Amino acid sequence: MASYKFMFLIPNKMYISDALRSTLGVAVENHYGFGAVLYQKLPPVTEYMKENLEWTKDMEGDVFCVVDTMDEEAKKYNVDEVGLTPITLEELGKQILEADYVVAYGLPYQSRELPSMCADSRTVDTAKTE
């Protein structure tokens, strides 16, 4: 089976933990899982999340902190305390072009109902998500 490189782009703090789990998920399926946290300071890191990060790195993936999208406090926490790999927007651009699949993770649900041919045609309460 072919192995692909997945790049998860994570702009939304609410979904960081889920996105890191998905990054690890593709890695354990023998793909290359990479994540990039933009803008945000990570929430307090649990042992579970730490294990996920370490496991992702062990599986030849990585989780980046896009340092030029966040303030000093967020950068310091994400890189020095959590151990994310610092990366610039320029470098992230190269990583995106090298990836086979790019997944922008955890965007708010769309307000428009999906067409019937889509499997997921839930109706969304936009007041809660936007």
Binding residues vs another protein (CB under 8 A): 11, 38-39, 68-69, 89-90, 92-93, 96-97, 99, 102, 104, 107-108, 110, 112, 115, 117
Closer residue to another protein, CB minimum distance, 30 or 126: 126
Considering beta carbons, is residue 20 or 38 the nearer one to another protein?
A: 38
Measured CA to CA, the distance from residue 119 to residue 104 in angstroms comes to 19
Task: Report in angstroms how near the CB of residue 119 gets to another protein at its nearest.
Answer: 13
Minimal distance, residue 34 CB to another protein, in Å: 14
Contact 34, 61 (CB under 8 A): yes
Query: What single letter denotes the amino acid at residue 52?
Result: N
CB atoms within 10 A of CB 44: 9
- Choice between 46 and 110, CB closer to another protein: 110
**In 3D, which of 48, 34, 45 has the Cα closest to residue 83?**
45
